[in-house]
Amino acid sequence: MSIVRPARRTLIAAGLGVLAAGAAAPVAVAAPASTAPAPALTPLRLDGPTGPEHVGAVQLHLVDLARKDPWTDSGQPRELMATLHYPAHGTRGHAMLPWLSEGAARAVKDTYPGKLDGYAMPMTHSADTAPVARHGRRPVLLYSPGFGSDRSFNTLVVEDLVSWGYVVVTVDHPHDSGEVEFPGGRVQTRTVVGRDKDEMRKAVAVRADDLRFVLDCLAVLDRGGNPDAERRRLPHGLRGTLDLGRVGAFGHSLGGASSAALMYQDRRVRAGIDLDGTLWGPVVTGGLDRPFLLMDTADHDGLQKDPAWTEFWKHLGGWHRCLRLADAQHLSFTDVVALSPQLKGGFPQVGTIPAARAVAAVRATVRAFFDLHLLGRADAGHLLEGASRRYPEVGFVA
């Protein structure tokens, strides 16, 4: 979930701790046997979405038979986990999905022994396989997480977008994402270290291919097919609800770079956002001719300190803006900013911006951008000029 900058080689692994690049992975420490009853866990929580629609979700195991996994020598096809979030007709009788699956949650706790002891991971506000709300076709957004992070780590923004009418598909990228749990309980943790530029360029290229494959799978879903590898049950009413003529992409850190790379390769994607991520690959010099938003922090100051951003900026031919989140740091764009105050000692990289203000500002900015460029709502552009009294934390850079 980290940003890799030429001047600073620090990686925020899984958004839940800071590891120096190339450092040895933490070793899980087994708890001593005890006959005493386990203490009650303190539940962590995430606020619900603000829009009028219910949120449904279905998890998908997607296997790309046309590609071998580029991170292993096994010769096995590339496989992904994704969650499709959609406006639901109702949620009654459907359980809410956990923020992290059971195996992924254990892996996170094992990676950071002691840090999360005593806490229960939050639940989402996404109802598992709830029936789809049938109100025409919905614009579709793809979300890619940061390096070492999980697809659920921007649930606050994702669920809010869905509550206002979007379909959002979040994607894990095994080996450079954090904890990816597959059906049956198999968990793939991060194996990509991210030591050098070549590895990061490869990661972005792999992710762009992953996202293109997901788009292909969405076309299958919209036709009434089932691309899930286990053919698990899909939500009722999903067929014919995805507007694949109005597709956007966004991501945090490496996920933002991957969104730009996807747009460079695939014209099905009409607009994109990079939340505080250094850019990699041919898009840096090739640029884009469609709307793209960069959003950073004063710490990053991308257009002044990040050579990839300054070069990319010169080659943008479509609508483009650079905005800044005041008093923020790298993880202020993710759920970590909301979880940190609930934990003893908190987490680094969340800045001094109050959590509620960070969440509200990022939610509003991302939605305003896609409302403007996918829905044609001209009134959404006010915030994108850094001129909103309601969200003074969002400043205009260029």
pLDDT by residue for the chain (398 residues), tens only, comes to 344 443 332 333 434 433 222 333 333 444 455 566 767 899 999 999 999 999 999 999 999 999 999 999 999 999 999 999 999 999 999 999 999 999 999 998 887 778 788 999 999 999 999 999 988 999 999 999 999 999 999 999 999 999 999 999 999 999 999 999 999 999 999 999 987 999 999 999 999 999 999 999 999 999 999 999 999 999 999 999 999 999 999 999 999 999 999 999 999 999 999 999 999 999 999 999 999 999 999 999 999 999 999 999 999 999 999 999 999 999 999 999 999 999 988 888 999 999 999 999 999 999 999 999 999 998 887 899 887 899 999 999 99
Sign of the CA dihedral 252, 157, 54, 165?
A: negative
Check if the beta carbon of residue 261 is closer than 8 Å to that of residue 173. no
Q: Which of 125, 154, 128 is nearest to 47 (CA)?
A: 125
Q: Concatenated DSSP letters for 331-354? A: GGGSTHHHHGGGSTT--SS--SS-
Q: How many CB atoms lie within 10 A of CB 164?
A: 17
Q: How many CB atoms lie within 10 A of CB 231?
A: 9
Sign of the CA dihedral 325, 326, 329, 334?
A: negative
Residue with tokens 């999903």: 238
Q: Which of 246, 257, 247 is nearest to 300 (CA)?
A: 257
Check if the beta carbon of residue 95 is closer than 8 Å to that of residue 112. no
Check if the beta carbon of residue 130 is closer than 8 Å to that of residue 237. no
Tokens of 313: 């900026």
> Does the domain at residues 46-396 carry the CATH identifier 3.40.1080.20?
no
